[in-house]
Amino acid sequence: MPNFELNEEYQDLSDMVRDFADNVVAPVSAKHDEEHSFPYEVVAQMGELGLFGLPFPEEHGGMGGDYFALSLALEQLGRVDQSVAITLEAGVSLGAMPIYRFGTEAQKQEWLPSLAAGTSLAGFGLTEPDAGSDAGGTATKARLDGGEWIIDGNKQFITNSGTSITKFVTMTAVTGTSVRADGSIKKEISTILVPNGTPGFTVEKAYNKVGWNASDTHPLTLVDVHVPEENLIGVRGRGYANFLSILDEGRIAIAALATGTAQGCVDEAVRYAKERSAFGHNIGHYQGVSFKIARMQTRAHTARLAYYDAAARMLAGKPFKTEAAIAKMVASEAAMDNARDATQVFGGYGFINEFPVARHYRDSKILEIGEGTTEVQLMLIARDLGL
């Protein structure tokens, strides 16, 4: 029979990150959220704990763990602060993972150690003003001239792209075209590493977001940007396919983060329901509240099983695309539903930003959008069913 109990190593990691989240992250979450400030001091401590290096081998400065270990860390951080959790998720699965999966040995030696240590961050430049779910609509162009790539284009919603420790953003760009048999144009999309500070590469003003206020997110502009030919990541023309595989893995990570959020909402609602009194009883005495929280716990439990299953399939080398889509959809919806219900349990206090459930209510919506919308997950699941 399947065993969903964590082994001692995984459990110790989960407990360690939970303690860090409760005692280091949570006390400063409201401050960074209100100030829209990046939590550099928290990120530095996460780096010291080795969280950015969890899925990477020791030879590249990592901890020698795996993707499930990263997911467990994200779940615990997501309980208390989604901005911090997404900084780790994007830093590892979107920033460093393309280098680890598809980079040359020289690229790994140059970039991975500092990324795995958390002393530097990297971004994942896929989304554009007219290319979101349809990433094949990429309009950014790169041409090879005299041993250099010359890049022009725009990217948007790029996480970790503008911090003081951001070293580069890996960009998708059209590097050529061909004509299909039916006469339509096929784009050759490649991925190219662009260091921050390269002339012509501008990190624009940060977005004023609804949530994830302590996460760094910017639009990017590239005008006549020159980088060496060897900054190509992976095989020319395989950039789109490579990034799709990165997104499949990333959906497990986002599902773990969302599961943590769903569980954090349960934990806060249980605590408040035991403390708050009305009509002579604590409010948890009334079925209108207790049943609501019971449904919240059911959603969190289901989301956890879904991402555990997807991660297990991935680590076993089995196909996991559909299971990752299921996990991402189930967990993101659980986070959004639980944030709404927890806010209702808190009543007026749930509408005050200093309370975690209020931040979760604002933060959780993006979980149903980023790294593949709910509609994209449904499309992938339906396609797997032959529809």
Tokens of 2: 């399947």
CB 163 within 8 A of CB 38: yes
The whole-model pTM stands at: 0.95
Active site residue 148: no
**Per-residue pLDDT in tens (0 to 9) along the chain, 387 residues:** 567 789 999 999 999 999 999 999 999 999 999 999 999 999 999 999 999 999 999 999 999 999 999 999 999 999 999 999 999 999 999 999 999 999 999 999 999 999 999 999 999 999 998 877 776 788 999 999 999 999 999 999 999 999 999 999 999 999 998 877 777 778 899 999 999 999 999 999 999 999 999 999 999 999 999 999 999 999 999 988 888 889 899 999 999 999 999 999 999 999 999 999 889 999 999 999 999 999 999 999 999 999 999 999 999 999 999 999 999 999 999 999 999 999 999 999 999 998 999 999 999 999 999 888 999 999 999 999 999
* CATH superfamily label, 123-237: Butyryl-CoA Dehydrogenase, subunit A, domain 2 (2.40.110.10)
Alpha helix (H) residue ranges in the chain: 8-20, 26-35, 40-49, 67-80, 82-89, 97-102, 105-117, 239-275, 287-315, 321-346, 356-363, 374-384
Pairing of strands 121-125, 166-179: parallel
Between CA 371 and CA 282 the distance in angstroms is: 40
Which residues on neighbouring strands pair with residue 142, listed in sequence order?
151
| Those residues with Cβ within 8 angstroms of residue 255's Cβ, 6 or more apart along the chain or in another chain | 71, 303, 306, 307, 310, 324, 327, 328, 330, 331, 332
Structural domain boundaries in the chain:
8-121, 123-237, 241-384
User: What's the CATH architecture for 241-384?
Assistant: Up-down Bundle (1.20)
CB 204 within 8 Å of CB 221? yes
Residues in the chain, total: 387
Q: Catalytic pick from 58, 275, 371, 375?
A: 371
Q: Which CATH code, of 1.10.540.10, 2.130.10.10, 1.20.1250.20, 2.70.98.40, is assigned to 8-121?
A: 1.10.540.10
Do 360 and 264 contact (CB within 8 A), yes or no? yes
